[in-house]
Structure 1
Amino acid sequence: MPARIHKGRGAPANPAGRFERQEHEAADDGWGSLELLAEDPSPRTEVLPDASRTVIARNDSPDIGFDRSINPYRGCEHGCIYCYARPSHGYLGLSAGLDFETRIFAKHDAAALLRQELAKPGYRPATMALGTNTDPYQPLEKRLVLTRGILEVLLEARHPFAITTKSASVVRDLDILTAAARHGLCRVDISVTTLDPALARLMEPRASTPARRLDAVRQLAAAGVPVGVNVAPVIPGLTDHEIERILETAAGAGAGGAGWILLRLPYEVKELFEAWLAGHRPLRARHVLSLVRQCREGRLNDPGFGSRMRGSGPIAALIRQRFERALARHGLDRPRRWSLRTDLFRPPSPSGQLSLF
């Protein structure tokens, strides 16, 4: 895959989606076209409307702790090179590469659609997960404020929710989060992949710096919002040596627990990650990929339920043991009393207006 590094972008290329019949490759036509291409600036972010008629996505995966989720955005400007959600852009006829982080689909009516779905007579509440596919607090959220609108509806309905993000912008909504936490309705998990700001800038170019994420943990904990840290993904040979330091720092910031997920490289993400390694960590690339294969039974990805999150083999077992011992050492292995309440749920008004009687 021809790699091209754009400042502020994670993907080194924009390969055709796996459902496309045609592929395009730049070639020299003798008129200086390649020189012009080399001078092109970093692609700008384009916001497109998402015309989905529903906003709650359902799943029955046995290794996921929730059965419903909301993603106000398709695509993510954070540009994390390892993101397992990248292939989802293929269903839109777009690339998992630069398209995923520059062509973002926004559900502008997400709050209104959620209100309608929660107001249906047969609806039964359970924890609503936000941030399961793309980050609800990616940079666009500062301008579009779609996630806040969703949280306002959830709080009004006294509906439990859990947020996963790698953005410090989550503290913008502390007023909603603290109000929900008082009723036992919410929890937040902050993803921390590395504490090295230089590496984070290359892997997650538009996500908050590690220091800002940990500061968000401090603010959430101080406000009484249940908050944990996800060491995710753990990348063997690149970030796994930081497990202990991340957990120690997270505990010091007030995190109430922690989890981890092994690097996942489904579909096009495999080739994108290999090209990224070749461009940014060429001397370590073969070693990292070898370790990943040792955790995935000789492959770069294992889609099997259960094993896809943790891997298998001695390398994966060692990572698990190190994580569990570090949890115990820093007091993060205590069972988190974060079971969220569902008994307070009250269907919201479909129109958003209060009843006259």
Structure 2
Amino acid sequence: MYVGWDALALVDAADDGRSPIERRAVVRGGFYELQARTVIERVPQATGIAQRWAVSPYRGCAHACRGCGARAGHRKLGLDAGRDFDTRIVVRPNVVERLRAELARWDGQELAVGVGGDCYQAAEETYRLMPGVIGALAGAGTPFTVYTKSALVLRDAEALARAGARVAVSIAFVDERIRRAVEPGAPTAQARLELVSALVEAGVECRVLMAPVLPLLSDAADQLAATVRRIAQTGARAVEPVVLRLVPGTREWYLEWLAQAHPGLVERYEELYDRTGLPSPGYEGRITGQIAQLCQMYGIRCGTPEAVSGGPRAAQLELV
């Protein structure tokens, strides 16, 4: 999925029953520390976010969101895309050092931060990598958007505001029963709504990634309306809707849960999604259209943010 992490899977070490990452990483307090070779990595188009390149201090995420599109990356580390993704968090201790080096040759395109795993999940309390990441990006004049569900981002709100960064907080629905089922380790929707308000008050440009909208579970008209109405009350800059993607890695884990929790929906999901994991264009267009109408009703912008670009510093990195 991402170049910097994929290289690990190519290591041909003796078969001693351990995964490649268990042979290469230093394990501390349950975290797997792995020195990265590159940190600016291509974002697969199937994620649905605006940025095409990203930096992720952590791979895997304790929020354990069943529909997370980053799960496949764990397979390339010799781990599984299900439970391991939720519990075996891979840390890049040298992310700031590598990022500074790569930004010296970066072309100024906007970067996403935290696509491979929430950059403000619990691991950040231990490693404190984000202040250095923010400093490196700000120093290079590179625009960036931080993706998170965690209130820990407020620790760095002043630095983010000074850097002119965007923060995208994920709030796909406000039904707590659904949240407990599909985002068991994540903060509640109410906590995230309060987080958006706090970021706005701190002067940080904040938008809400309304993702993933779950077909047949969180896509009813009243559910969408309640979510957009609550988001609009926070002062968020805009709503960016994304319907659930079932890419390899995510598909198996999500459908396994669906078969247990809602067996009657499995066949309908199989009909709705193509082989690449994308929902049918007709369904996706209907849902995003409904959300756009609701945003207009509640006075908040809807859609992908306008691209921003810093000044080119040199030739773009070549990632192979």
Q: 1:126 to 1:215 in 2, by over 3 A?
A: same
Structure 2 letter corresponding to 1:188 = V
One of 219, 242, 250 as aligned partner of 1:269: 250
Could you tell me how far 1:89 is from its partner in structure 2?
0.9
Q: Is the 8 A contact 1:72 1:146 kept in 2?
A: yes
Aligned to 1:329: 297
Q: 1:172 to 1:271 in 2, by over 3 A?
A: same
Structure 2 letter corresponding to 1:116 = A
One of 140, 145, 151 as aligned partner of 1:168: 151
Q: Is the 8 A contact 1:72 1:110 kept in 2?
A: yes
Q: Secondary structure at the match of 2:61?
A: coil
Aligned to 2:116: 133
Aligned to 1:58: 42
After superposition, the C-alpha distances for 1:92-139 in whole angstroms (9 at most, x for unaligned) are 1111111111111100111111112223xx432121111223211111
Which has the larger Rg? 1
Equivalent residue runs for 1:231-242 within 5 Å:
231-241=210-220, 242=223
One of 73, 89, 96 as aligned partner of 2:58: 73
Pair 1:213 & 2:176 matched:
no
Percent of aligned positions that are identical: 32
Q: Is the 8 A contact 1:274 1:285 kept in 2?
A: no
Aligned to 2:160: 177
Aligned to 1:295: 272
TM-score between both structures, scaled by the size of structure 1 = 0.72
**How far apart in 2 are the matches of 1:65 and 1:156?**
23
**How far apart in 2 are the matches of 1:191 and 1:98?**
21
Mean alpha-carbon deviation: is it higher for 209-218 or for 122-131? 122-131
Could you tell me how far 1:51 is from its partner in structure 2?
2.3
After superposition, the C-alpha distances for 1:228-285 in whole angstroms (9 at most, x for unaligned) are 1111111111111222111111110001111111112222433322332344x3xx33
Structure 2: runs of 5+ lacking an equivalent:
1-27, 315-320
Aligned to 1:202: 181
Pair 1:312 & 2:261 matched:
no
After superposition, the C-alpha distances for 1:307-349 in whole angstroms (9 at most, x for unaligned) are x3x6323x43431221121111112237888654514x889xx
**How far apart in 2 are the matches of 1:140 and 1:325?**
38
**How far apart in 2 are the matches of 1:58 and 1:231?**
22
Q: Secondary structure at the match of 2:197?
A: helix
Structure 1 letter corresponding to 2:297 = R
**How far apart in 2 are the matches of 1:200 and 1:152?**
33
Structure 1: runs of 5+ lacking an equivalent:
1-43, 348-357
Larger helix percent:
2
Task: Count matched residues.
Answer: 287
Equivalent residue runs for 1:104-123 within 5 Å:
104-119=89-104, 122-123=105-106
Q: Secondary structure at the match of 1:189?
A: strand
Q: Secondary structure at the match of 1:51?
A: coil
Structure 2 letter corresponding to 1:112 = E
Structure 2 letter corresponding to 1:272 = W
Structure 2 letter corresponding to 1:320 = T
Structure 2 letter corresponding to 1:260 = P
RMSD between aligned residues: 2.9
